[in-house]
Structure 1
């Protein structure tokens, strides 16, 4: 699907926090683009309508592309600093009333992607995968139901595959991720205000590690004055922010992982290279499925791919028998995927951003471990906004319920998708099935959309 590049490199002074640019190419509409200030403790406009001070900002890319019917995808690449990878990409998927005119929906959510992923590959895979249709996009599903969907790609997703400068990766921990989430929320609220939808707070949601950052952002926001708070509710998808006391084994796994990751960082390793495993595992499974795997002796490329996504606990086990995707097993080995199209899952891995911050992973594992030093203080109990937890039986599932009892919210709804009996959980709905299974819309997205619209 062809994208319209409406901005080249553009640098303009931002007066009172607003940048207005004129889109070129297929339209002459004027597109207002608000750019958040560098310090997320400042606000462009608070509830009283106070304007922020003049700042300098840079939008280096704006793209608009059709998805289906009146649903369009906007993508804003925004510079947020002076280091090599100080860029975030903010997305918007929304129905239009006219070209470049988003419908002013009353409900809005900003979604955060998980590991080895971007907003597109998690929430709008039809933009990157020929195996996906818009009906298989969670973001499109919500947009069609009158929800203005926003997203954020974290800084590490913008690093190029070849020739990347990793000099700022050591700063890409959860503190920075939380701060950038605030920038994206401010950006979304500002642009919604300019396009007639008002500047009310948004829901904040995330999948996997994005859900952990959702909890962390919500907790940190409780320490700010009301005029600097941007969220009205949270939607963590299949994660825990705090490990339940009965899951001590899982907590210790996180402690061990955090120690190993911090040791690597101390040695100067800051890049978790997705092009070294996730991408080639998927690419080889598609291009040469029967050939011997270069990763595991005695297995074919296809067998390694199936084993990784359906028996993820052999590689990574945040809870017993955790797996990305549910599989069908024959003689104890995975033979096919149970609920999700294999080509779609293959593209999810193949389109992983090439690089990822190891520091962020170390921080997140350290927070699960709970042993000092921690990158952030624990303010989970101060969260009082409404919460909807969506889990998968074969993912974090029921193990994510404990966190919903730790927060201070009284409006809490939980929904764990379970397709099989408890003793078959190793083959049940997996972590990624919440986004990619053929019946995810009915089993997972409909309850989510109904909750959002009711709040």
Structure 2
């Protein structure tokens, strides 16, 4: 399996977080799969490489077309290595988390060479007609991003996430410089449990399942340890490509030419989180041409408690992720 990471992350921080800086207490999806005799590979997108003060002069070139080309190179290398070491000529399952899942869809739809199946972790590609407000949000974000690109902006500064994570670890009870009405710990909890206030990819989208008080404030995280979540944020790459974000928003918007999901004929596994993309990602699974489609949305509660349910990052960092999410994925991979 080849895994593609999400935003403000790289392969290590999403899939082998014990090796991150700072290290996380979460064991990681990649070692879990490897322990079950699944050969795991990963791609770090180019924007993960520069340091905080590194050269980012080429960041504006880092769009979806370049990334799909890089995925081809990575898959070619992995298949060549497997052929050399194991005499295995087989193709590889392409998987991705979040925007990495959207890229996995795009690659399989545009090319699909080297790919035996696709596994998408909590992302959508096509937005259902009844969720027009989500498409409108993507279109508005894409337009704003295009305007920024036209003005010469190419970098999304991830210091927001780094600061939230680092301060929650080093000074949890001090006043947050990011959200002044919160402590550093409270700011991390709010950003994770109430993410939809800043990024409403679904109406109650959140990165981590919250425990809410009577006022709707986040008092703790329900599924993922705070150590793991703060490490995820603190270990974010300093830079991220604005062009990539704009072009992925344009795929969601659907107003520009893009690879169509109907081109996908290989097996598909969709793993969603009920409090994040969750059920909203199911529509994309109906748009492929494959006759082998499996979907699982991890949930704790009924629809009336979606605001507290399994979050986006909980698929990677929750204490119960191995049982609820990773084991079904591993079972599917081993049968494909």
Q: Deviation per CA, 1:39-84: give whole Å up to 9, x if none.
A: xxxxxxxxxxxxxxxxxxxxxxxxxxxxxxxxxxxxxxxxxxxxxx
Q: How does 1:357-396 map to 2 (within 5 A)?
A: 357-372=241-256, 374=257, 377-396=258-277
Match in the other structure for 2:117: 233
Q: TM-score, normalised by structure 2?
A: 0.97
Match in the other structure for 2:177: 294
- What is the deviation of 1:110? 0.2
Match in the other structure for 2:32: 141
- What is the deviation of 1:392? 0.4
Q: Distance in 2 between matches of 1:453 and 1:196?
A: 17
Match in the other structure for 1:123: 15
Query: Which blocks of at least 5 consecutive residues in structure 2 are unaligned?
Result: none
RMSD: 1.1
Q: Distance in 1 between matches of 2:90 and 2:268?
A: 17
Query: Which blocks of at least 5 consecutive residues in structure 1 are unaligned?
Result: 1-108, 223-228
Match in the other structure for 1:206: 96
Q: Deviation per CA, 1:321-377: give whole Å up to 9, x if none.
A: 0000001112321011101110011000000011000000000001101113x4xx3
Q: Distance in 2 between matches of 1:379 and 1:260?
A: 24
| Equivalent position to 1:432, from 303, 307, 313 | 313
Q: Deviation per CA, 1:84-133: give whole Å up to 9, x if none.
A: xxxxxxxxxxxxxxxxxxxxxxxxx0000000001001111111154425
Match in the other structure for 1:113: 5
Match in the other structure for 1:251: 135
- What is the deviation of 1:197? 4.2
Q: How does 1:27-176 map to 2 (within 5 A)?
A: 109-128=1-20, 129-132=22-25, 136-162=27-53, 164-176=54-66
SS in 1 for 2:153: coil
Match in the other structure for 1:188: 78
Q: Which has the larger radius of gyration?
A: 1
Q: TM-score, normalised by structure 1?
A: 0.72
Match in the other structure for 2:234: 350
Q: Distance in 1 between matches of 2:89 and 2:206?
A: 39
Choose between structure 1 and 2: higher strand proportion: 1
Q: Distance in 1 between matches of 2:39 and 2:158?
A: 31
Conservation of the 8 A alpha-carbon contact between 2:24 and 2:232: no
- What is the deviation of 1:382? 1.1
The runs of 4+ residues in structure 1 deviating greater than 6 Å are none
